[in-house]
């Protein structure tokens, strides 16, 4: 069975690009599930800082 993905997560993104043991991937997945559950996808914008957090740009299917 394939793992359940949040609707707010970009399905085209493959394996995580974050360092092993980094929590960014889990945080983004949890954030995407919360956006789905609260119905906020149409009212959410996403901004990124520099550094490894910039990799999160591709993980969420939101306006950026």
Give the pLDDT confidence score for residue 1 in this predicted structure.
Answer: 58
- Checking if the pLDDT of 2 tops 80, the result is no
Give the tens place of pLDDT for each residue, 6-59: 777 777 777 778 888 888 888 888 998 999 999 998 998 888 888 888 888 888
DSSP calls for the chain: -PPP--TTB-TT--S--SPTT-SHHHHHHHHHHHHHHHT-GGG-B----SGGGGGGGGTB-SB-
């Amino acid at each position: 069975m394939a793992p359940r993905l949040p609707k707010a997560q970009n399905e085209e993104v493959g394996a995580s690009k974050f360092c092993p043991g980094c929590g960014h991937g889990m945080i983004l997945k949890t954030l995407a599930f919360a956006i789905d559950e609260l119905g906020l996808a149409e009212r959410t914008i996403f901004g990124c800082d520099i550094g490894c957090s910039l990799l999160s740009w591709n993980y969420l299917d939101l306006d950026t």
